[in-house]
Amino acid sequence: MYLKYCQLILLYSVNFVNGFGFFDIGNTFNHLNKELYSLASDWNGDVKTRWIEQELDHFNPEEKRTWKMRYFQRLSYWRPNGTIYLLMGGEGEASSRWTATGIMYELAKETNGAMFVSEHRYYGKSKPINTTDVRNFKFLNSRQAIADNVKLIKYIKSWKMLNNSKVVVIGGSYSGNLAAWTRMLYPEIVDAAIASSGPVLAKKDFFEYLEKVNDNYEQYGTSDCLDNIRNIFKRYDKLLQSCEGIKLLKEEENICQESDLTDRKNQQVFFSYKVETFVTNSQYGNTKMIENHCKNLNESLKHKIPQKTSKPIFWVARKRCYYYDYDTMIEEYKDKRNDWVMAWIYQTCTEFGYYQTTSSKSQPFTDNISLNFYTEMCSILFGAEIDEKRIDAGIKYTNEFYGGRRPNVTKVVFTNGDLDPWSTLGVLEDLSYNAPAVVIPRASHCRDLFSNRKDDIEELKEARKHIKYLIKNWTEAGDFLSI
């Protein structure tokens, strides 16, 4: 039963600095691209931006409409018989900086390769159709995206200087799936693939995500960290059960008075925001970040200091307070500036699920982020026909079509960091001699796609070396195997 009379709700217009509150359901490409700008050392502007005409629907000959897909190319290191490398775009804007650092860049240098980066349809500047109309998302799915990349590869291979070159596709997170699936569906076109941190198993209730976060904090945090986390979240839960508790919580957490925290959905928005730091440290961080976070939690509890938060999500600048409101969050998603968010949520609703709930008891965050929190969003954003039945059907089709954790594929290396919560949906054991799994101790999401840094652990550096060896071996780049 929800509390209804704790306060008089005032309706007014709210402007967020950033409207994305629940934890990451598909922000990998944007996050990783930000890192590239500080890491890309070999950046001299010799990258070309190109466009290729694509069919709106590759599988319906009666659909005649076309659109322009953006991609980047760099041929600085190409020499005759060099390999073609394509980094496949995912759920965000593509970055040409992948041609200046990272594992693709190193492979291209070591094998006289040509580098390309594609941009996924409906993301970045590759917009097939007006995405402000939700009906137009029907052309957004992984099969269409794979077909886009296959057409790009065929076009590149039509160049006289590259028509005899081997092709390697590379992807991370969702695009790691795409890389493996492209090799599986088009082995006559793609010779090998790197599938980094790919959650190849579609799953609606992805409760394992927070279980992994729990395990990370138990293993790498301080001895009392998990108990402290449980106590913090249990206290949130208790405070939200009474008018007096809500009043106190608003004072402690600087929550706008207008936030109706008697509403269950708004409470879930609050909890999902509070989980974010723990999620970020596991998905993108390292063991030291987890340990330091635990130490900071301990100090905060000892001295009764409010928890420091990250950049102000749900922040009302003019009132300098947090406004947790589900309906306003939904309206933010619909804003055309956030069309990439709408695109990714649509893919979760129709293909993948990936909803990170608190339904498991093996996590410390209480059970306050339900499956309905996500599934109802699908119908609200995309219409009543995108209901839970449609979500289930999409997930079933995805797993049956691609094979889940056991895709029928060779010459793909599946890499995962064992710190990464997404790894629980990935390939963690060898499928065969020519489809190995590389699990990297204490590494997080997609870290193998980057170049070595001084503070990288040795296991990560060795994994990158092994991945490059496999790709060279599979593409018969024999002249370069000693590098």
What's the whole-number mean pLDDT along residues 304-328?
A: 77
Own/partner pairs for 128-131, CB < 8 Å, 24+ apart?
A: 128/54, 128/56, 128/67, 129/56, 129/65, 129/67, 131/336, 131/339, 131/342, 131/343
Q: Which residue is listed with tokens 């950049």?
A: 311
> Over the Cα atoms of the chain, what is R_g?
23
pLDDT at 481: 42
* Lowest-confidence segment of 104-108, 135-139, 256-260 by average pLDDT: 135-139
Residues 324, 271: Cα–Cα separation, whole Å? 10
Residue 435 · residue 409 · CB < 8 Å: yes
Beta bridge partners of 437: 414
Is residue 471 within 8 Å of 192, Cβ to Cβ? yes
Q: Which of 427, 425, 426, 463 has the alpha carbon at shortest distance from 442?
A: 463
Other C-beta atoms lying within 10 Å of the C-beta of residue 287:
18
Q: In Å, what is the CA distance from 356 to each residue of 157, 345, 366?
A: 40, 13, 13
pLDDT of residue 336 exceeding 80: no
Degrees, nearest 5: CA angle 116-429-184: 40
Query: Parallel, antiparallel, or unpaired: how do β-strands 114-118 and 167-172 relate?
Result: unpaired
Judged against a pLDDT cut of 60, whether residue 337 lies above it is answered with yes
Among the ranges given (192-201, 261-270, 297-306), the one the predictor scored with the smallest mean pLDDT: 297-306
Is a pLDDT exceeding 90 seen at residue 165?
A: yes
In terms of pLDDT, which residue wins out, 23 or 136? 136
DSSP 351: I
- Rounded to whole angstroms, the Cα distance separating 121 from 347 reads 12
CA 10 – CA 299 distance, rounded (Å): 37
Q: Which of the two residues, 160 and 181, has the higher pLDDT score? A: 181
Structure tokens at 363: 């996590």
Q: What is the pLDDT of residue 338?
A: 79
What is the pTM assigned to this prediction? 0.92
Residue with tokens 């993948």: 352
Residue pair 290/220 in contact by the 8 Å Cβ criterion: yes
Contact 7, 257 (CB under 8 A): yes
DSSP for 225-285, please give it.
Answer: HHHHHHHHHHHHHHHTTSHHHHHHHHHHHTB-TT--TTSHHHHHHHHHHHHHHHHHHHHT-
Give the residue from 431, 452, 473 showing the smallest Cα distance to 106.
Answer: 452
- The residue assigned the tokens 């957490």 is 253
Is the pLDDT at 479 greater than 50, yes or no?
no
Strands (E), 432-474: 437-440
What's the distance, CA 483 to chain centroid? 32
**Paired tokens of 309:** 């938060």
- What is the average per-residue pLDDT within 259-264? 97
- The CATH homologous superfamily for domain 28-200+404-480 is Alpha/Beta hydrolase fold, catalytic domain (3.40.50.1820)
The pLDDT mean for the chain works out to 90
**Residue 36 near residue 117, CB atoms below 8 Å:** no
Q: Which residue has the tokens 């965000």?
A: 92
pLDDT of residue 315: 84
Give the pair of three-digit tokens for residue 272.
Answer: 């999902």
Phi (first) and psi of residue 476, to 5 degrees = 55, 40
- Can you tell me the mean pLDDT for 461-475? 97
pLDDT at 414: 98
**Among the listed ranges 3-12, 164-173, 239-248, 386-395, which one has the minimum average pLDDT value?**
3-12
Q: Per the structure block, which two tokens stand in for 339?
A: 């069309």
pLDDT digits (tens, 9 = 90+) for 419-444: 999 999 999 999 999 999 999 999 99
Concatenated DSSP letters of 163-226: TT--EEEEEETHHHHHHHHHHHH-TTT--EEEEES---S-EEE-THHHHHHHHHHHHHS-TTHH
The residue ranges of every structural domain in the chain are 28-200+404-480, 204-397
- The owner of tokens 């306050």 is 368
pLDDT, tens digit (0-9, with 9 covering 90-100), for 76-130: 999 999 999 999 999 999 999 999 999 999 999 999 999 999 999 999 999 998 7
Q: Which residue has the higher pLDDT, 21 or 302?
A: 302
Residues whose CB falls within 8 Å of the CB of residue 8, separated by 6 or more in sequence, listed in order? none
Cα torsion through 216, 219, 220, 223, rounded to 10: 120
**CA–CA distances in Å: residue 173 to residues 24, 27, 200, 201, 474:** 12, 10, 9, 12, 22
> Worst-scoring range by mean pLDDT, 11-20, 147-156, 300-309, 316-325?
11-20
Which is nearest to 152 in space by CA: 190, 185, 124? 190
